Structure 1
Amino acid sequence: MHKTTLALILAVTALAACEPVAVQPVTPPAAADECGAAGYQGLIGQPRTALSAMNFPLGTRVIGPEDMVTADFRPDRLNIEYGPNGRITKVSCF
C-alpha cells in the first residue's frame, strides 16, 4: 500500500511540475507627476524672489535650507526647494 501511495504522490508531483506558470513581466512604476512639477523645472537656478510674481497650486510648499517640513507623502503637492544662496534647487512632488 505504501508503494502505491508513494507512486501516486510522485506522479501527481511530476504532473504539477509540468503545469505552465503564467509569469507577468515586472515593469517599474512610471514616475508620477501628479503635482505638475515638470512644468516648473525652469525655475531651477532662479532666485527665490521670482516666486512672488507667480501663482501656484493650493498647498504648494516653498522650502528653505533650514525649514522643517512634515514627513507625510502627498504626490499631488508641489514642493519648491531653495538653497542657502537663495536660488531654487529642486521642484518636485512629495
Structure 2
Amino acid sequence: MKFHGKIALPVIMLLLAGCQSGHKGTDKGVASVDPAADRCGASQYQNYLGKPLESVSSLRFSTPVRAIPYNSAVTMDFNLQRLNFLGDSDGKIARVYCG
C-alpha cells in the first residue's frame, strides 16, 4: 500500500497543476486594469509618469482633473470619476490615479 501512495501523490499533483489557469498578462509587462477601479481612465495616462506636472495643463479631459503639486494640501473627498496627477519634489508626475 505504501508504494501506491507514493505514486498517487505526484500523479494527483500533476493533475492539479494541469487544471491551473494560465496568467493572461499583456505585452511589455503591463498589468491588466480593473475597469471598476479605472472609472476616470487613469490607465490611459500612465505614460505621463516622469513628465513635468505642467504638461497636464495642455491636455483636454472629459472627467474632472486635479494636478497635485508636491506637499500641497488637497481635499479628502473621494471621487472615482476624478483623474489625479500627483507631483513629486522635482515637479514631475509621480502617480496617476482615480480618486
TM tier, shorter chain? 0.5 to 0.7
Give the direction of change, closer, same or farther, for the CA distance of 1:57–1:67 in structure 2 (3 Å limit).
farther
Which string of whole-angstrom CA distances, capped at 9 and with x for unpartnered residues, describes residues 13-41 of structure 1? xxxxxxxxxxxxxxxx9761000000000
Match of 1:69 among 63, 70, 74: 74
Partner of 1:85: 90
**Gap regions ≥5 residues in structure 2:** 1-33
Q: Give the Cα separation in 1 of the matches to 2:41 and 2:63.
A: 12
Match of 1:54 among 27, 40, 59: 59
Q: Give the Cα separation in 2 of the matches to 1:85 and 1:72.
A: 26
Q: Under a length normalisation based on structure 2, what TM-score does the superposition of the two structures give?
A: 0.59
Higher relative contact order (CA 8 A, sep 6+): 1
Which amino acid in 2 is paired with 1:42? Answer: N
Dislocated runs of 4+, deviation >6 Å = none
Match of 1:32 among 32, 37, 58: 37
Aligned Cα root-mean-square deviation (Å): 1.9
Larger radius of gyration: 1
Q: Percent identity?
A: 38
3-state SS, counterpart of residue 96 of structure 2: strand
Count of matched residue pairs: 66
Which string of whole-angstrom CA distances, capped at 9 and with x for unpartnered residues, describes residues 71-91 of structure 1? 111111100011110110000
**Gap regions ≥5 residues in structure 1:** 1-28
3-state SS, counterpart of residue 95 of structure 2: strand
